[in-house]
Amino acid sequence: MARVESINAVTLHTVDMAASVTFYAALGFTISFGGEEAPFTTMSSGGCHVNLTAEGATCAWGRVIFHVDDVDELYERATAAGLQPDAPPADASWGERYFPIRDPSGNDLSFATRL
């Protein structure tokens, strides 16, 4: 039976497109479509895509977990860019090393590496 192996893209509402584009760029995503002034923007990293939509957004909330090849390196990149993760990378009982962070619209993100 066929099974799903990964998610290619997620779409999150944003209340501030420019701030969201800056945030995701600091984490290594690049603009594939749209931009800071657009009502819809796609940010990409590897084969992963985050779609940001400002259409109809008065508030935002979502949760996404991204698997990355080096969570500690990404944490260092994020803090060097002035981002403020909720906690430093830690080993979790479920077999991942991860750190949590919220984007400018309050979406809950985790970046993780499998142990």
pLDDT (tens digit per residue) in 25-72: 999 999 999 999 999 999 999 989 999 998 876 666 778 889 899 999
Compute φ and ψ for 81, nearest 5 degrees. -85, 0
Of the ranges 4-8, 12-16, 62-66, which one carries the lowest mean pLDDT score? Answer: 4-8
Section 14-35 average pLDDT? 96
Q: Which pLDDT does position 60 carry in this prediction? A: 64
What's the pLDDT at 63?
A: 84
What is the spatial distance between Cα 23 and Cα 107, in angstroms, rounded to a whole number?
12
Q: Which CATH architecture has domain 9-114?
A: Roll (3.10)
Does position 91 have pLDDT exceeding 80, yes or no? yes
Whether the per-residue pLDDT at 73 is higher than 90: the answer is yes
